[in-house]
Amino acid sequence: MSDINRAAQASPALPQEVDMNRSSSRWIIGVLAIVLVVALAYGLRYERPKPQVNASQNRPSIAAAPAPQSSTPPVSSTHPVSSTHPVSSTPAAPQSSAPLRADAAVSSNPHDLTSGAAAQAPAVPNFVDLVQAVKPAVVSVRVKSDITPQITAGDGGANPFEGTPFEPFFRRFGSPGKGEQEQDPLRHQYVQAQGSGFFINAEGHIVTNNHVVANAVQLQVVMDDGKVLDAKVIGTDPKTDLALLKVEGQSAFPFVTLADDLPKIGEWVIAMGNPFGLGGTVTAGIVSAQGRDIGSGSYNDFLQIDAAVNRGNSGGPTFNMSGRVIGVNTAIYSPSGGSVGIAFDIPATTVKPVVAQLKERGYVERGWIGVQVQPVTKEIADSLGMKEAEGALVSGTQPDSPAVKGGLKTGDVITTLNGTKVKDARDLARQVAGMAPNTTLQIAFLRDGKQETAQVTIAQLQNQPTHKRDTPPPQTGRNAPASHLGIAVAPAARVMGIGEQGVAIIRVDPNGKAAEAGLRPGDVILQMGGNDVSNPDDIVRAFDAAAAQKKQHVLALVRRNDREMFVALPTG
């Protein structure tokens, strides 16, 4: 038994081993087949990319977006930044390393702007070289102002509280030159403020804002290297909010140059200055808009930029990528008091002529023709039968003015000056102000629908204070019933303090059409439809005449206080 077992163990089981080898081979072949199928499927699904061959270099080409050019290099410490040291090199700008997307190709449709704009999108420029070049010309301005309150005690210095329990308090705190004030004079109170500025020539002239240096008793300028110099005011121009300062202390100062043209919307700019006393601060952005009217006067057309501008930046420069000053930082729009990306600059094209006059004579000489003007709205254009709402409507003339001598009248619409189109009332004011006194001006205007011309001699604008007349309280009595405008009127001669001419507005319905047009109680209607009015019936006839001509508005000349203006009143 044992021999049989040993024999059985010693003899090989050949059939079983052959079956196992065949099974393993099948598994290997199956795995290889699966791998081959997967590889084949992957190759069919994804097409191998074909390289773009450059005809000159025989290698793949990557189309990079063009970067904006800049012509301002670093400036040597021994040379000022100016037009006498022109800039020729271009600061390096990072290039995009990503190829253009397939959908950025130029469309065959000439009206499709999207693809063309995407193909020309620039990379963010490198501002380092530009900043290093112009930074030495930017300064901080320290201002010491006298804010001592002006206290008056009335006519002759009398105490208005005499004989009352408040008399001792007023004698102590309110009446200079009497009581305890006689032994303890009112002390002056001073405040320190800061702003910004920049050199415009090697002689040390600095441009800043007028509101920075207003009421200053002491001025100091802090240069980029920390050097502090005393400054004096050469001249100011409140109408454009510009001021020119002068410093001494070295033979030549680094300076920058004002741009000759307006920047384009979307152009890269950098703003520099002294926000919150942090001198030498640089921020970057673009030009957001042109021609902004922020209600600061008739002579400014502000640039809007989105570079961060804060308190203390006033008077500082904004540069383009060529290192030229395109504007002076002046104001910001901010609900919180800090930057929200809306800042306003006085354009360099405005700064140049103003600064030239401030340097020459210390003040700005402006042309004047003696007219009050207002914009031509769509309603006013309709009432005058004009196709387009453009030009400047003469709402009043001053006696013996060049306009009166030249034949201009109230109600004329000035359309051109010396052949140059007048866009609106602000444009007229800027064009006239920029003309030298004693020069001849050819004016084209519309009168009663006909084109006419007048020739006037420009006079010099005088800074004359305007005095406002208090609006008299409305008088009640026998008034005309409220019309479809929602007003009650009476002849001006019957209302005390109004005058003899026109029709006085006694009451205005706050929900009526007259209120929407801007009329107020106390206003006096002098003309309707170009004709004088003296009673309510004249107003009715003016509306009937306008309706017969199928006009939707009738033009009314209205006097408010000492100012006259036109108002378009709806006929229906």
pLDDT attached to residue 553: 86
Contact 179, 298 (CB under 8 A): no
User: In whole angstroms, what is the distance from residue 474 CA to residue 497 CA?
Assistant: 10
User: In whole angstroms, what is the distance from residue 95 CA to residue 106 CA?
Assistant: 21
For residue 298, count CB atoms less than 10 angstroms from its CB and return exposed for 0-12, middle for 13-18, buried for 19 or more. middle
Average pLDDT over residues 397-419: 91
Distances (CA, A) of 432 to 316, 370, 416, 565: 28, 10, 11, 20
Which residue, chain included where needed, has tokens 């930057």?
339
Distances (CA, A) of 45 to 32, 41, 48, 214, 426: 20, 6, 10, 76, 67
Which tens digit of pLDDT belongs to each residue from 74-83? Answer: 433 334 433 3
- Across 39-43, 411-415, 525-529, least confident range: 39-43
Identify the three-state secondary structure at position 541: helix
User: In whole angstroms, what is the distance from residue 204 CA to residue 192 CA?
Assistant: 23
Q: Domain 487-570 - what CATH class?
A: mainly beta
Q: Among residues 242, 270, 236, which one has the least CA distance to residue 256?
A: 270
How many CB atoms lie under 10 A from the CB of residue 407?
Answer: 15
Catalytic residue among 140, 145, 211, 383: 211
Q: Among residues 232, 203, 245, 206, which one has the least CA distance to residue 325?
A: 206
- Does the pLDDT at position 96 exceed 80? no
Superfamily designation of domain 268-361: Trypsin-like serine proteases (2.40.10.10)
Average per-residue pLDDT for the chain: 76
Contact 520, 508 (CB under 8 A): yes
Which residue, chain included where needed, has tokens 């050819």?
442
Distances (CA, A) of 245 to 138, 209, 547: 13, 10, 60
- Does the pLDDT at position 62 exceed 60? no
Quote the tokens at residue 174: 């309110």
Average pLDDT over residues 541-554: 83
The radius of gyration computed from the CA coordinates of the chain, to the nearest angstrom, equals 39
- 95-133 burial string, b = 16+ CB within 10 Å, else e? ebeeeeeeebeeeeeeeeeebeeeeeeeeebebebbbeb
Identify the three-state secondary structure at position 556: strand
pLDDT attached to residue 297: 67
Identify the three-state secondary structure at position 548: helix
Amino acid at 6: R
User: In whole angstroms, what is the distance from residue 253 CA to residue 205 CA?
Assistant: 9
302 pLDDT tier (thresholds 50, 70, 90): very high
Higher-pLDDT residue of 187 and 327 is 327
Which tens digit of pLDDT belongs to each residue from 179-234? Answer: 444 444 445 667 788 999 999 999 999 999 999 998 888 999 999 999 999 999 99
Strand partners, 216: 145
Q: Among residues 224, 210, 339, which one has the least CA distance to residue 279?
A: 224
Which tens digit of pLDDT belongs to each residue from 132-166? Answer: 999 999 999 999 876 655 444 344 445 554 555 54
Quote the tokens at residue 481: 């019933």
Strand partners, 374: 393
Catalytic residue among 82, 175, 314, 339: 314
For residue 72, count CB atoms less than 10 angstroms from its CB and return exposed for 0-12, middle for 13-18, buried for 19 or more. buried
Contact 393, 383 (CB under 8 A): no
User: In whole angstroms, what is the distance from residue 235 CA to residue 286 CA?
Assistant: 31
pLDDT attached to residue 13: 46
Active site residue 241: yes
What are the residue boundaries of the structural domains of the chain, listed by start? 268-361, 367-460, 487-570
| Whether CATH 2.30.42.10 fits 367-460 | yes
- Does the pLDDT at position 451 exceed 80? yes
- Does the pLDDT at position 275 exceed 80? yes
Active site residue 211: yes
What is the percent of the chain where pLDDT is above 70? 70
Which tens digit of pLDDT belongs to each residue from 466-497? Answer: 333 333 333 333 344 345 788 888 887 776 66
Shared fold status for 268-361 and 367-460: no
pLDDT attached to residue 91: 43
- Does the pLDDT at position 309 exceed 90? yes
560 pLDDT tier (thresholds 50, 70, 90): confident
- Does the pLDDT at position 333 exceed 60? yes
Catalytic residue among 129, 241, 306, 538: 241
Quote the tokens at residue 391: 């030009």
Active site residue 314: yes
pLDDT attached to residue 328: 96
Strands (E) located in 348-391: 367-368, 371-375
pLDDT attached to residue 172: 46
Average pLDDT over residues 93-111: 52
Higher-pLDDT residue of 496 and 562 is 562
For 212, the enclosing helix (H) or strand (E) is: helix 210-213
User: In whole angstroms, what is the distance from residue 524 CA to residue 497 CA?
Assistant: 11
pLDDT attached to residue 556: 86
- 240-257 burial string, b = 16+ CB within 10 Å, else e? bbbbbbbbeeeeebbbbb
φ and ψ at 10, to 5 degrees? -75, -30
Contact 154, 204 (CB under 8 A): no
- Residue 428 makes CB contacts below 8 A (sequence gap 6+) with 373, 392, 414, 417, 422
pLDDT attached to residue 337: 73
User: In whole angstroms, what is the distance from residue 396 CA to residue 371 CA?
Assistant: 6
Identify the three-state secondary structure at position 270: strand
Average pLDDT over residues 280-302: 85
